[in-house]
Structure 1
Amino acid sequence: MSNKDNLHLQVALVQSPIKWEDPQDNRSFFGQKIDQVKEKVDLIILPEMFSTGFTMSPENIHEKEGDITLQWMQRMAQKRDCAVTGSMVYKEENHYYNRLFFVFPNGHYESYDKRHTFTLAGEHKKYTKGTKKCIVEYKGFKICPLICYDLRFPVWSRNTEDVDLLLYVANWPAPRINAWDALLKARAIENMVYCIGVNRVGKDYEGHLYTGHSGIYDPLGERIGFSEKDETLVRTLDKAILNKYREKLRFLEDRDIFTIH
């Protein structure tokens, strides 16, 4: 077995309720959740806007809270000696972003701003959309982190960078949860990747219900992890399985070449 095959990534999907617009309380809550993970994991994944809930009033969040939460993520990553990722309300100059941070164990980080702001909720009026993807290389895996509504747009998710894992953090409501399940599976199959979606549970301040359905799908669309309750799901991704399917089926060699403007 080659070195490229002898690689594993242990992931923890933290599916939980989120307290509305209360970063301090949410940091404390998710800190406890992280402490409760008994396994030695490589990557901890938190939901979209895990420090506030999916608020369309970012002005209610103090502009320093973004950096405070980022620093908290760095402490968690260093404490657990693993990567931590999730998105938050982040203000930069005069713009608000739904910004995901991928924080490495040494505290360094990369970031991604949500490309597809959710017009149905008016997110496009409050948050500036991102313009570029973020490809993270970590422990032998190429990871593309994306955010919630991005899942509906296969061109943006298309595997043109030879990534191994598509990772979506979300606040995806119950009435459209069947679409979430179907699209996560589709993104895995069409891109020949592992695909992970981390959603929240519970009701938010606006009365929207979230039923979780956080899941992990292999390159053939088989679900290898799933949850509908307040819990942390731990699974291991095996690079050898990914490479076996790609070398046998070779679907990515027939993909279309295109450029997104």
Structure 2
Amino acid sequence: MQDQLKIALLQSDLVWEDPKQNRSRFSEKIQAIHEAVDMIILPEMFSTGFTMNAKAVAETMDGETVRWMQETALKTNAALMGSLVIEDSGHYYNRLLFVEPSGAIATYNKRHTFTLVGEEKTYTAGTEKIIVDYKGWKICPLICYDLRFPVWARNTEDYDVLIYVANWPKPRVEAWDALLKARAIENMSYCIGVNRVGVDGVNIEYLGHSAVYDVLGACIANTRPGKEQTVLVSLEKRHITAYRSKFKFLNDRDAFTVV
């Protein structure tokens, strides 16, 4: 078990519906990280942008982008995570992959599809929350719109880090900031959000605002709005232990079952 977890947040523009170009661009950004890190986080639908044109861009779990993620994780000796469009058993998913250097893959299908743009008409919603145990840290990975639903993120598993990958647009970026901070506070965990920047193929603009909050809701790392940027941050296990021991708020959480 590691007491410290070093993470790279990649806030990037995305090339619309072009997995090959996006893989190439992320390879360059990852190669430019000159410090050893334990984990690299990419945005939601990092290979295509937030497209509803799933049939044209979907890959399988045996596809090029998944292989690229495994190769990159092995090469960097760091876990790599982000979501992409996956076709599986006749369904399309906005699927997050957590890929370890060993090649092992944990997957999470986005639970809350974004009905404002009809995501539910294209993508099948997930039904299961996952907790990844990596280097002794319990990590809960979620996707974008999931951020608005605190019950789904509720820390009933005593996880250490809550992570959201996103394509969260400029008009509602204040909500993004507020909700990331709230999720950290109410779950007494680190909360990380990695968002894209730029303008997508349907003329939606993104400002990023990727950030990391500690268990008390203090912002310990963030990015320049609207700019491509890689930010490194180190998380401390002792920070979690100290404040959970002092403030036993999680002991008073409500019991419930998500159905």
TM-score in terms of structure 2 length: 0.97
User: Could you tell me how far 1:68 is from its partner in structure 2?
Assistant: 1.4
User: Could you tell me how far 1:39 is from its partner in structure 2?
Assistant: 1.0
What is the aligned partner in structure 2 of residue 239 from structure 1? 237
- Is 2:107 the partner of 1:108? no
CA pair 80-13 structure 1, distance change in 2 beyond 3 A: same
What is the aligned partner in structure 2 of residue 193 from structure 1? 189
Q: Distance in 2 between matches of 1:110 and 1:191?
A: 22
User: Could you tell me how far 1:66 is from its partner in structure 2?
Assistant: 6.8
Asked if 2 retains the 8 angstrom alpha-carbon contact of 1:188 and 1:219, the reply is yes
SS at match of 1:163: coil
* Counterpart among 97, 101, 112 of residue 93 in structure 2: 97
Q: Distance in 1 between matches of 2:239 and 2:68?
A: 34
TM-score in terms of structure 1 length: 0.96
What is the aligned partner in structure 2 of residue 210 from structure 1? 206
| Map 1:111-122 → 2, pairs under 5 A | 111-122=107-118
Q: Distance in 1 between matches of 2:66 and 2:163?
A: 19
Q: Distance in 2 between matches of 1:163 and 1:62?
A: 31
User: Could you tell me how far 1:67 is from its partner in structure 2?
Assistant: 2.2
CA pair 62-182 structure 1, distance change in 2 beyond 3 A: closer
Q: Distance in 1 between matches of 2:192 and 2:51?
A: 23
Q: Distance in 2 between matches of 1:62 and 1:168?
A: 21
Q: Distance in 1 between matches of 2:60 and 2:147?
A: 29
Asked if 1 retains the 8 angstrom alpha-carbon contact of 2:58 and 2:86, the reply is no
**Unpaired runs of at least 5, structure 1:** none
User: Could you tell me how far 1:140 is from its partner in structure 2?
Assistant: 1.5
User: Could you tell me how far 1:64 is from its partner in structure 2?
Assistant: 4.6
CA pair 255-65 structure 1, distance change in 2 beyond 3 A: closer
- Identity level (%): 58
Asked if 2 retains the 8 angstrom alpha-carbon contact of 1:66 and 1:88, the reply is no
What is the aligned partner in structure 2 of residue 254 from structure 1? 252
**Unpaired runs of at least 5, structure 2:** none
Q: Distance in 1 between matches of 2:62 and 2:26?
A: 16
What is the aligned partner in structure 2 of residue 57 from structure 1? 53
CA-based RMSD? 1.1
Q: For this pair of structures, how many residues does the alignment match?
A: 257
What is the aligned partner in structure 2 of residue 220 from structure 1? 216
User: Could you tell me how far 1:248 is from its partner in structure 2?
Assistant: 0.4
CA pair 19-137 structure 1, distance change in 2 beyond 3 A: same
CA pair 146-64 structure 1, distance change in 2 beyond 3 A: closer
